[in-house]
Amino acid sequence: MNSEIKTAIILASVIVVGIGVLSVVLSSFEEETAISNVSTNENSISSIDKSGFKKAPDLVGIAHYLNTTPEKLKEQIKDKVVLYDIWTYSCINCVRTLPHITAWDDKYSDQGLLIVGIHSPEFEFEKNPDNVQMAIDKHGISYPVLLDNDMETWKAFDNRYWPRKYIADHEGYIRYDHIGEGGYQETEKIIQQLLKERSTNLGIQFVSVSSLVDIEAFEHTNFRTPELYFGYKFAQNRNQLGSQEGFQPGKIVTYLDQSNIELHKFYLTGEWKNNKDSMELISETGTIKLLYNAKEVNIVTDKNAELEIFLDEHPLPSEYAGKDTTDKGIIVSEAGLYNIINSENSASHQMEIKITGKGFQMFTFTFG
């Protein structure tokens, strides 16, 4: 995703205000969390000065409402602790957070927590409500999801990152702000504390729960290939396309095979149209070569195609196969994210994707 607005996987930051939890900075995949003065005193909870806090903005410019309606959502939000999750369904960083978010929904929705997914798309196909609905079904999301297709709510939050979680208390004040993956235990503790604060102030019963959701978080590798962008607009000022023909905006280019390839760059063969956000295969077949370092490789694609995957000049071994890879490769049948390689350890490999399918579009490589 665009580096100006996408979370760096290896760096996340948290801003926490109003309930005594200090900032969190994730660096090189090591999370250091400082928690202090989280009050359990009911008098202290009820007397918090909120004059310096911002209220959550109005949810504006929503193109579609999934799992709710505008009228229903207005009632759902009233007097609730609300977790606003800004995400998009082809973002691997966003996808990795979803098991935790759906688990919190299951655990706390009856206690006064409302999760609202703000789906702010990066690519055009992510604006299609049918595509988003398929992602919702795939990930078991039952909470409201709002399609912020023109990024108006994104802008109202003054956001620049995917994913990002804001938590507002029952009066609508933003009390927690987390960028990126990770920080799950801390986030859940904030949820618990704000639910307790809500019950105290509203005079309702809260069933105290100290245990936390136990889901293993994805562990990133310290040295890995950065995200690679195939659209010339997204790839501005990045030296990621290794083919000597380079980017030629708006043109159909015949890319020739190169025997010598460099780490962290991709190479094409065949006829490809250079689009702003993708490369589109014009010939019936084509290839993508890449020398990468990672344990996980994902692609974001569109249009029907068959992909054969080769690793170090051999068919992809089963122990490296991603969850979307079969013994025949990958069948691209819908627009979105596909996990093609998933191994236990990070290492450098040469990968080649042989593509059959005119019109196939390639948007990004992402790595873990």
How many distinct helices (H) and strands (E) make up the chain? 6, 19
Residue 209 lies in a domain: no
By C-alpha distance, which of 168, 187, 171 is closest to 179?
187
Q: What is the pLDDT of residues 71-85, one digit of tens each?
A: 999 999 999 999 999
For the domain that residue 77 is a member of, what is the CATH number? 3.40.30.10
pLDDT above 70 for 35: no
What does the pLDDT average to over 217-233?
Answer: 91
Q: Do 170 and 268 reside in the same domain of the chain?
A: no
Q: Do 186 and 83 reside in the same domain of the chain?
A: yes
For the domain that residue 246 is a member of, what is the CATH number? 2.60.120.260
By C-alpha distance, which of 17, 19, 15, 75 is closest to 198?
19
Of the pLDDT bands very low, low, confident and very high (cuts 50, 70, 90), residue 47 is: low
Of the pLDDT bands very low, low, confident and very high (cuts 50, 70, 90), residue 97 is: very high
User: What 3-state class would DSSP assign to 219?
Assistant: coil
Bridge partners (DSSP) of residue 115 are: 83
Q: What is the pLDDT of residues 229-247, one digit of tens each?
A: 999 998 988 889 999 999 9
Stated as kind and residue range, the H or E segment containing 82 is strand 81-87
> Which residue reads 């006064």 in tokens?
112
Q: Do 240 and 182 reside in the same domain of the chain?
A: no
Q: Do 79 and 165 reside in the same domain of the chain?
A: yes
The two tokens of residue 268 are 């094409």
pLDDT above 60 for 339: yes
pLDDT above 60 for 276: yes
pLDDT above 70 for 199: yes
pLDDT, residue 274, reads: 98
Question: Which residues are within 8 A (CB) of 320 and not within 5 positions of it... i.e. 6 or more apart?
Answer: 311, 341, 342, 343
Stated as kind and residue range, the H or E segment containing 190 is helix 184-202
Q: What is the pLDDT of residues 135-159, one digit of tens each?
A: 999 999 999 999 999 999 999 999 9
Q: Do 298 and 161 reside in the same domain of the chain?
A: no
Crossing angle of helices 92-108 and 129-139, rounded to 10°: 60
Of the pLDDT bands very low, low, confident and very high (cuts 50, 70, 90), residue 18 is: very low
pTM of the model: 0.88
Structural domain for 244, as ranges: 228-367
Residue 207 lies in a domain: no
Of the pLDDT bands very low, low, confident and very high (cuts 50, 70, 90), residue 46 is: low
Cis peptide bond prior to 249, omega within 30° of 0: no
Q: Do 189 and 70 reside in the same domain of the chain?
A: yes
Residue 29 lies in a domain: yes
What does the pLDDT average to over 54-76?
Answer: 98
pLDDT, residue 1, reads: 56
What does the pLDDT average to over 105-129?
Answer: 97
> Residue 170 is which amino acid?
H
Number of domains in the chain: 2
Q: Do 193 and 234 reside in the same domain of the chain?
A: no
Q: Are strands 336-356 and 305-311 parallel, antiparallel or unpaired?
A: antiparallel
Q: Which residue has the higher pLDDT, 222 or 66?
A: 66
